[in-house]
Chain A
């Protein structure tokens, strides 16, 4: 065996036997065949390396492109073109040094035999470019890795054995646990099934007599959006946490609101209070609300209506039972100037009371955009 000089690792440009691509094995039976045709070869840590030799790169100045491609798999420490390396005509050979062995491994697996600007890359490990220290690190890393995996496996096994040994000692306990688990799993199943159920567009709720329903309008224009908005309403009800985030709330309204408000604006523009009222009413039709809440809501609405009539801004669309007065009752101040002031106050009150309700409506006009799918 001949002694040799200590040449730098980057100067060795011999063609090594392991650089050659071995002929693909075609005699494998089906069940032993992998996803890709491969030669019969055994990889050991000695053959692997952070250095990759890339052959078959078209010689049209693709250094940047090649390095970019390889950098997808991890940080590259060094790279250079091997001008002296015997290459096929019109191709170049590159040497790429990754920071980590794992990156080189994945890069080799994914990029070997990949077509690249009309050429077919042949990627192989180039461990002959390693220094002694590189080799040592590689071996130590491998040993540490195997030890860690085996330790983890042993720990897992111990845990399962401990659980197994517990079982015969307390079969009743185990039974209890099992039962509990069954119950919880059932619950999970239930919730799963409901959510599964909800993931389908629900039928719109049956029409109610005395309540204004904008969904009938929207159904005419776009049935899919209305049904999905109805569904969203349900989901929103089911997940109040998201409501608090504010996202689902807008989420719900976006589909539902713009349509009715557009429709409504024409007959009664100029009076936002009416629109607000109608929106408020239309919610109960689209969402499921428990009976008690509905009763409470009705009570609250009645009170609101009472207040509004006092202020003289009662809703015209609100269904009133009993004979309707030809005009809203307004308090007569018995003085022209006082009456003007009272009117002014009424108008401002009407505006103020409509402002906080109005805001989401404005938002609704803007929010649909980001939600739109491409």
Chain B
């Protein structure tokens, strides 16, 4: 499944990844930052790299990206987390760093790719999702016009949620007690990223 033969086997690979992380932290160029982040996120797909990336604390690096202004950085960081969270050790590291709240915030992203990665990551992070806000949000996704989001949301509801909870979320959705989670903010709204982090706490009725 991975990229097959690795170009940098053994210690060389670790050093290469380390060099990438160092460049990411040191560089001033936003282009280079994006490229290196994308590289790291794609490297995360290969199980052969997961251990090295965990040792380099790349999970922290990705989580940091979720609160960035640049949508590209958020998307790539979220993609990296989606890839890495498939591994149990990486998953535990993300959980220890309170990743769930940060990832949940990304459900409100305007970018479909980011939202998909966030849903995928949440599925990897926990076997049972009980947060009613997340449940409602995913329930809304399951009615989305986007087939990919709809399919993923349905798998999420069927495999990760108790049926009783889904029913309650459905009732809530029809009633007035909705959450704003997962509803992207309008384009002109400033401070989108900072709001997104605390989105799951905002229980206010959706005004969109």
Write out the residue numbers on chain A whose beta carbons fall within 8 Å of the beta carbon of B34.
40
CB closest chain-B residue, reference A130: B151
DSSP majority for the A interface?
Answer: helix
- CA A47 – CA B112 in complex, angstroms? 11
- Give B63-91 as 1s and 0s: 1 = Cβ < 8 Å from A's Cβ atoms: 00000000010011001101100111100
Q: Can you name the residue of chain A whose Cβ is closest to the Cβ of B151?
A: A135
Task: Report the separation of the CA atoms of residues A12 and B146 in the bound assembly, to the nearest whole angstrom.
Answer: 10
B148/A128 in contact, CB under 8 A: yes
Closest-CB distance, B5 to chain A (whole angstroms): 13
- B47 CB contacts on chain A under 8 angstroms: 145-146, 149-150, 153
Q: Is B53 an interface residue (CB 8 A)?
A: no
Residue in B76, B89, B123, B147 whose Cβ sees the most chain A Cβ within 10 Å: B147
Given contacts A4-B150, A27-B35, A44-B117, A146 and B145 within 8 Å (CB-CB): no
Report B-chain residues with C-beta under 8 Å of the C-beta of A43: 42, 45, 79
Interface residues on B, range: 35 or more
Least Cβ–Cβ distance between A227 and chain B, in angstroms: 40
Work out how many contacts link A and B, with CB atoms closer than 8 A: 118
The answer to whether B48 touches A149 (Cβ under 8 A) is yes
Q: What is the CA–CA distance of A102 and B2 in the complex, to the nearest angstrom? A: 9
Q: Does B164 contact A (CB under 8 A)?
A: no
Within 8 A of B (CB), among A128-145: 128-132, 134-136, 139, 142-143, 145
In contact, B147 and A130 (Cβ under 8 angstroms): yes
Tell me the complex Cα distance, A105–B46, Å: 13
Instruction: Determine which of B113, B141, B151 lies in contact with A18 in the assembled complex, contact meaning CB atoms within 8 Å.
Output: B113
Q: For window 18-50 of chain A, which residues contact chain B by CB distance below 8 Å?
A: 18, 25, 27-29, 32, 40-47
Report whether A12 and B35 are in contact in the complex, using a CB–CB cutoff of 8 Å.
Answer: no
Task: Give bound CA distance, A131 to B87, whole Å.
Answer: 25
- Contact yes or no, A132 B113, CB < 8 A: no
Question: A40 to chain B: which residues have CB within 8 Å?
Answer: 34-35, 38, 72
**Max count, chain B CB within 10 A of own CB: residue among A25, A130, A139:** A139
| Docked complex: B22-75 residues within 8 A CB-CB of A | 31-32, 34-36, 38-39, 41-42, 45, 47-48, 50-51, 72, 75
B125 to chain A, nearest CB (A): 12
A306 within 8 A of B: no
Q: Is A320 an interface residue (CB 8 A)?
A: no
If the complex has contacts A27-B35, A44-B117, A130-B147, are A145 and B1 also in contact, measured as CB distance less than 8 A? yes
Q: Which of A9, A12, A44 contacts B116 (CB 8 A)?
A: A44
16 contacts between A and B (CB under 8 A): A1-B144, A12-B147, A18-B113, A40-B34, A42-B80, A43-B42, A44-B120, A45-B83, A45-B120, A46-B117, A127-B147, A135-B148, A136-B158, A139-B155, A146-B50, A150-B47
